[in-house]
Amino acid sequence: MNIILVTNDDGVHSPGIISLYKIMKEIGDVYVVAPDRERSAVSHALTMHRPLKVEHLDDHIFSLNGTPTDCVAVGINKIIPDKPAFVVSGINKGANLGDDITYSGTVSAAIESTIMGIPAFAISLVLSKKPGLPFNFDTASKVAVEIGKYILENSLPYDTFLNVNVPDIPINNLKGFKLTRQGKRVYDGSIHETFDPHGEKHYWIGGGMPYWEHGEDTDIQAILDNYVSVTPIHLDLTNYDALKFLQNRFKIKI
């Protein structure tokens, strides 16, 4: 049976990863290696200044006191018995759209797997509910298992993983899947000043209202239209158009 490695950045006890673990058992032998606590927005950080500790929590379920990238590296090399057919990271409690993917621990776990030559996808639930209402992790789980089936049958292009975002709606309200490009998300007023009881100034990063680039083929537009957004992300960051442009103009001499 195919081995599937599941990880995330919300922590090993998050409802998203539990939902994902259960449904992935339909198509493979599932192992969970996930952070012992929330590690959101750690990007592609590796822990190199201290040793890492693994705890065996249950059958095929392990926690690691490190980042999502650590979990993939240690999980594949030291914990699971064989190379996984693919790695899935999520289900993230919140969107990973546009430029947010550069900060995301969820996405970075998929990046690490792709670097290691193993197909991967990251999946996130784009929250829209008011506080107190349940999240539709079951919708995202059903999307995830279909993506997983596709990868098992077709694999993915070289050096490429999928960034999947799912609207927070019942499965019957989804309009389908859309292949999209990464949109542009810009935050305004996301750095806040605050003062401690001693009058010392501190800064709090977060909040603020983002604004979005418009475009029918973007990830955010697909979500707004109640489609699942599937964005192929290539690890080669070279801007080939800029490379050609600069080759004829970059005339610097030492």
The DSSP call for residue 173 is G
| Separation between Cα atoms, residue 221 and residue 212, nearest integer Å | 9
- Beta bridge pairs of residue 234: 160
pTM of the model: 0.91
**pLDDT attached to residue 206:** 65
**pLDDT attached to residue 210:** 65
**pLDDT attached to residue 203:** 79
The DSSP call for residue 195 is E
What SS3 state is found at 144?
Answer: helix
Is the four-CA dihedral 42, 43, 47, 49 of positive or negative sign?
A: negative
Q: Spell out the domains of the chain, with CATH numbers in brackets.
A: 3-185+212-247 (3.40.1210.10)
**pLDDT attached to residue 209:** 60
**pLDDT attached to residue 189:** 55
**Residue pair 53/127 in contact by the 8 Å Cβ criterion:** no
Spans of the chain below 50 pLDDT: none
